[in-house]
Amino acid sequence: MEAFLQPGFWVFVLALAGIYGIFSLGLQIQYGVGGIMNFGHVGMMAVSGYTIAVLVIKYEWNFWWAALLGVVLAALLGALLGLTTLRLSGDYFAIASIAFAEIVRYWILNTDTITGGTQGTLAIPSPKGFGGYTDQPDVVLNWISDRLYPIIGD
């Protein structure tokens, strides 16, 4: 019960809710508006997340430049997936997008020297934000998701 009273806990919960909210809005646009059942969406999220983590931890990049490169890399892979599956529809596209997500998952698991494999990436440093280091990276993520959610949701 004491964990629920910690202020950092609720900031983390709100940041995570914002991230998943943006993720679900992407699914809503694809399936709800476009009628495209895309299971590769989570693969794009993993590519971007692991790109950021690897660049920040192993190569000591600035978080914001790594985030920009992660988004660009995920967009390029999404465009490549879109071009290769352009003529597929319905169930066939869904199967191809599941295959893409599984390829990403197996690549992450089997390149343990780069991504950490099944252990994942640990000790990601706090991003420099708003004039200096912040002790709580969740505050920065919460701020970002609060700004992006209304823009994407409209």
Q: What is the model's pTM?
A: 0.76
- Environment class of residue 101 by beta-carbon count within 10 Å: exposed (0-12), middle (13-18) or buried (19+)? buried
Rounded average pLDDT over 103-126? 85
Q: Which is it for the CA torsion 82, 85, 34, 23, positive or negative?
A: negative
Residue type for 12, please?
F
Kindly tell me the sign of the dihedral angle through the C-alpha atoms of 104, 22, 144, 80: positive
Averaged over 31-52, what is the pLDDT? 89
